[in-house]
Amino acid sequence: MYRLQCRSPSMRNVKESKLPRISDRAMHVLLLHQNFPAQFGPLLSRLGGQSGWRFTFVSRHGEGAFPAVERLSYDPRGGATQQTHYFSRTFENVTWHSAAIYQILRSRPDIQPDLIVAHSGFLTVTPLRELYPECPVVNLFEYFYRTRDSDIDFRPDDPPRQIDLIRARFRNAAILLDLESCHAGYSPTNWQRSRFPVEFQPKIRVIFDGIDTELWRRHPPTRPRRAGRFQVPDDVKLVTYVSRGFESIRGFDIFMRFAKRLYQRRSDIRFLVVGEDKVHYGNDLKKTGGLSFKEWVLRQDDYDLSRFAFVGRLPPDVLAQAFSISDLHVYLTAPFVLSWSLLNAMACGTTILASNTPPVREVIQHERNGLLVDFFDVEGMADAAERVLDEPEAFRHLGKQAAEDVRARYSLDVCLPQLIELFEETVSKVRSAAASG
């Protein structure tokens, strides 16, 4: 009953945008990210293929396509090795990525962008400032590494080595290059922006990526409850957990301990766990002895796995259905980049139990649009979950408020005009400066 097999959905029809154009001719925007389409997906879903806009996307990985978006793939010819100093490995990788992008674009003299928009972290725009010296640059600044009150020192059960603290400071090198050289930047949340050096914060505007509330919405109830081929009997309480990968930074081990507490208390509980058995952030694999972090966690205790459905990644439309049939969604994170999955669950009107950590508190207010609990308080988490599962209607208003908040503050209809305004202002200022100089 808990096995799920789905095909990826076809591209949805995109509404014609009525957003303003930067000029009467097509504005050529060069997008740079290691992955495709990543944070630029919402932008392309609305503007790709529309008159007034031309997009070229350079990435290393990615699948899918958008109308009239040219995608160029790069492959770095080198990178950090064991001989590279531990402190500088991130910068070494960034250098090779950026050099590969530079070489591809140098071989394409027909690409003369009006604006460069790049994710700062996996790569730096530094080489392109020489290739396109007059071109305005907007950077997406997602995270600045700190050694205190951050993801690095958050977990007392896994304290960082001093060598890791030092390396964290070195990891900001390429980001600092972009902070200095870009014309403007943006971060998805106020908390993420606050992590950057104070002297650069005036350069950074807060603009969220944008949630497509036509896709991420509450689906009408069905009997029995379904999400793709996943079916939930009427007498079962469903708790969901979604993460790109199973790792400590997203509290996968904490979730499993919480889940065991909960199913030991009640027989009607089942857990739908969405995500890949991978570690994307942190040093979890250094302590697992060759196991994946998921495998390592499951060996730490005796879990009744018949209570869990590990379904891997789900297509967005199926995941929206899963959020809609969930009795409670659990979201855990260390102080780190906020996950799209939290906002997606909110948009679907799901009752949410989340970790009381700084990035979460920006979007979840306790007992207004969700419930907050200490990240490490497994018993308190189970107590809160039981209250919701015992009286789901008493907490339904939290999910409704969460959906309203997303539509008002984080929807694509709200965020995309803000992003385009930033683009327009940046291009206008750079052009004006060039004309007057």
**Residue 12 placed within a domain:** no
- pLDDT-derived band at 19 (thresholds 50, 70, 90) equals very low
Angle value at C-alpha 70, between 105 and 205, nearest 5 degrees: 80
Q: Which residue has the tokens 């908040």?
A: 405
The pLDDT of residue 23: 53
Of the candidates 401, 435, 428, 436, which has an alpha carbon nearest to the alpha carbon of residue 138?
428
Say if 382 falls within a structural domain: yes
Pair (261, 119) in one structural domain: no
CATH (domain of 133) = 3.40.50.2000
Tokens of 140: 């997406």
1 against 422, higher pLDDT: 422
Among the listed ranges 98-107, 274-283, 340-349, which one has the minimum average pLDDT value? 274-283
Same domain for 396 and 419? no
- Shared-domain flag, residues 206 and 293: no
Do 52 and 100 belong to one domain? yes
Q: Say if 20 falls within a structural domain.
A: no
Q: Quick one: angle between helices 316-325 and 340-347, nearest 10?
A: 60
Q: Above 90 in pLDDT, residue 1?
A: no
pLDDT for 2 = 29
Given a contact cutoff of 8 angstroms between Cβ atoms, the answer to whether 67 and 93 are in contact is: no
- For the chain, counts of helices (H) and of strands (E): 14, 17
Domains identified in the chain, total number = 2
Closest CA to 133 of 58, 172, 183, 93: 183
- Residue 123 in domain: yes
| Nearest residue to 14 (alpha-carbon basis) of 62, 55, 68, 60 | 68
The rounded Cα 71 to chain-centroid distance in angstroms is 21
Return the pLDDT at 49. 86
Query: Rounded to an integer, what distance in angstroms lies between the CA atom of residue 293 and that of residue 230?
Result: 25
242 with 333, same domain: the answer is yes
User: In this structure, are residues 193 and 204 in contact, taking their beta carbons and an 8 Å threshold?
Assistant: yes
Contact residues for 172 (Cβ-Cβ < 8 A; gap 6+): 144, 145
Query: What does pTM read for this prediction?
Result: 0.92
In this prediction, residue 68 carries a pLDDT of 87
Same domain, 293 and 363: yes
106 and 229 assigned to the same domain: no
Q: Does residue 381 fall inside a structural domain?
A: yes
β-partners of residue 137 are 116
Shared domain check, 402 and 262: yes
Q: How far apart are CA 161 and CA 158, in angstroms?
A: 9
The span from the CA of 107 to the CA of 103, in Å, is 6
Strands (E) across 115-268 are located at 115-120, 137-141, 184-187, 204-206, 225-227, 230-232, 237-245
Q: Supply angle C-alpha 49, 427, 213, rounded to 5.
A: 45
% pLDDT > 70, the chain: 94
Pair 271, 362 in one domain: yes
pLDDT digits (tens, 9 = 90+) for 314-332: 999 999 999 999 999 999 9
Pair (122, 233) in one structural domain = no
Give me Rg for the CA atoms of the chain. 22
Q: Are residues 423 and 381 both part of a single domain?
A: no
Q: The domain containing residue 190 runs over which residues? A: 27-210+412-436
